[in-house]
Chain A
Amino acid sequence: MLSLASVSAGYGSFQALFGVSLEVPKGEAGGVIGPNGAGKTTLMRVISGLIPMQEGVMTMDGRPVGGLPAHRMVEQGIAHVPEGRRLFPRLTVEENLRIGAFIPQARARFADQLDWVYTLFPRLKDRREQAAGTMSGGEQQMCAIGRALMSKPKVLLMDEPSAGLAPLVVQQVFDLVRRIREEGLTVLIVEQNVQQVLDVVDRAYLLEVGSIKLSGSAAELKNNSFIRQSYIGL
C-alpha cells in the first residue's frame, strides 16, 4: 500500500536520509527502529509531507504521492501521529478530534468517525469537553491517535508513541496499537522501544545514520544477534 523507493531528504544542506526503501502492505504493520538521530522522525515527516523529498519515489496504492505538501498528503489517506503527541492544548478533546476531520471528505462523515473513535477510546468521550493539554500523557496519546483516525486514513504513521510515558502507560499504548491493527488499518510505527514494537509489527526496518541497515519480519529481527545485542540488550 505505502511504498518508498530510494528516498533521500534533509534539512537545507544537511542530508538526513540516504536512499531509504521500504514497503508496508495493506493491513500490515511496519516498524522502524534505530538509535537517536538515525533519521526516524525525518522519515516520518517526509512520508507525511512536512519535509520535502529530495530524491526517490513514494507511492500510495501505486499512485505517486512524493512531493505533495502535508495538507495534501492527508487527502491521500496518510495520517501522522507526531512525536510528542502535539495536541492543541487549549482546544477541547472534541475540538482536537474535529480538526482531525478538517479535510472535506472527512467533514462529511464526521459524526460516524467520531462515534468510532469514541468506541475505540471510551475515555475520550468522558473527557470530550476538557482542554486536551490538561489530560494525562496516556490520555493525550489516545487523543492524538484519535485525531489522526478522524480523517479515516488508509495508513497511520506513529512517531514514538511510547516516548515520555510511564512504563505502565507504555503498555497501554502498545495495546492501543493492537486495537487499531484489529480495525484493519495499515500502520507504520517508529520506536526506540525495540522489544515492544517487534511484538506488534509484522515487518521491521533498522535505520542507522539515514539508511536502512537491516530489514525482515519481526520474528527474524527479534532473533537477529546484532539487534539483540545492540537494541534489546540481551
Chain B
Amino acid sequence: MTFNRVLTLIGLAILIALPTFIPPYFLHLVIQILLWAFIYTAWALMGRFGFVSFGHGAFMGIGAYVPALLWNYYDLTPWIGIPLSLGISVLLAIIIGYPCFRLKVVGHYFALVTLALSQVVLLSLVAARDVTGGSLGFTQKTVGHSWYALQFPDKGYFYGIAVVLWLIGLLAWQRIDHGISREALEAISEDEDAAAAVGINVLREKLRVTVISAALTALGGAIYGQYIMYLNPETVSGIAVSLQIVFASIAGGVYSLLGPTVGSLLTLSLTEGLRVWFGANFIGAANTIYGILLVLCIIFMPQGIVGTIEGIKARRRRMAKPSAAPSNVRT
C-alpha cells in the first residue's frame, strides 16, 4: 500500500514537471492522451457494467460545438457555454436513457439506439451547415491568451487543465467503484430482474451513471474543442468517434481504474508512431494495423490490456499461495 502511494506520488511529480522538459510536439500528444483518457474513463463508467453506448460521440460533439458556437456568434464565454453544453448533454442522456432503461432496451438494441443517437447529432451538425460550417467544419474566433475565452496559445495551460480533468475522471471512476452504486450496477448487469427483485432501483442507478458519463464526456469534448480550436463533425462526433471511444476503452480495459488511460496512451501513441513511421505516403497504414490489433485484442484479450495483466498477476499470486483453494472448482 505504501509502495503504491510512493509510486503515485512519483507519478504525480513527473506529471507536474512534464511540461518543463518535453518538446511542444510531445506535450501536444500528452494533452491529447489525457483528454481522450478522460473521455474513455467517462465511457467506461457505463461500459464496465455492460451498458455499451455507441452514442458518446453525440455527447462529445455537443460538448465541443455548443460552447464554440455560442462564443463565435454571441461572444458568450465558455464559462457559461460549457455548463450549458453539459446541461444539454445530460438532458439528451435522460431523453434517450430514461425510455431505454424503463423499457429494458439492452444489449444489441441499446448499442444500436445509441448508435442512432450519435448519427442524429453528427448529421444535424452537418445539416446545419449555415451555422456550423457543415462537414467543412469551423474555427473559433481567437483572442490570444484569455481566461475569459478559455484560450491559451501556451500549451502548458491546457496541459494543466487536461491533468485536472483526467484526475477528475479517475476520481469519478473511484467514487463509483467504491460506492454502493457499484454493487447495485453489477447486480443489474448480471440480471436486471433479479436486481429489481432485491430492491435495487434499476432505473435510477442506470440513469445516474449514464448522466454522469454523458456530462463528463461532454466536458471532455468541450475542453478538447477549446484546445484544438478547429471543429469538424467527423472528428468530434458520429459513428467513427463513438467507435473510437468504445474501442480504446475496451482495449485498455474497462474493469480497472487506469484501463481507459492505458487505452488512450496506447492507441494514440500507436497511431502517432505509425503515422510518423509510414509518413504521409501511406495514408491508412496506421489505422490498418490499428484495426488488426483491435480485432486480435478482442479475440485474445477480452479483458483489455490492463485487465489481462492484472489477471496474470492474480494467477501468479494464487500460484504463490498454494494453500488458497482454486476458485473455479464447483462442488
Contact = CB atoms under 8 A, between A and B. Distances in A.
Consider the complex of A and B and state whether they touch directly, i.e. have CB atoms less than 8 Å apart.
yes
A12 B328 CA distance: 10
Nearest to A14: B330
5 contacts: A12-B330, A13-B328, A13-B329, A13-B330, A14-B330
Contacts of A13: 328-330
B114 to A, nearest CB: 30
Interface of B: 328-330
Nearest to A11: B330
A59 B330 CA distance: 31
Identify whether the interface residues of A are mostly helix, strand, loop, or mixed: loop
B301 to A, nearest CB: 22
Contacts of A14: 330
Contacts of B329: 13
Query: 5 closest A-B pairs (Cβ-Cβ)?
Result: A14-B330, A13-B329, A13-B330, A13-B328, A12-B330
Interface in A18-69: none
A13 B328 CA distance: 8
Interface string A180-212: 000000000000000000000000000000000
Nearest to A12: B330
Nearest to B330: A14
A13 B325 CA distance: 14
A12 B330 CA distance: 9
A13 B330 CA distance: 7
Nearest to B329: A13
A14 B329 CA distance: 8
Contacts of B328: 13
A9 to B, nearest CB: 15
A184 to B, nearest CB: 43
B330 to A, nearest CB: 5
Interface string A1-18: 000000000001110000
A172 to B, nearest CB: 36
Nearest to A10: B330
A13 B329 CA distance: 6
Contacts of A12: 330
A3 to B, nearest CB: 31
B67 to A, nearest CB: 53
A14 B330 CA distance: 6
Nearest to A15: B330
B331 to A, nearest CB: 9
A12 B329 CA distance: 9
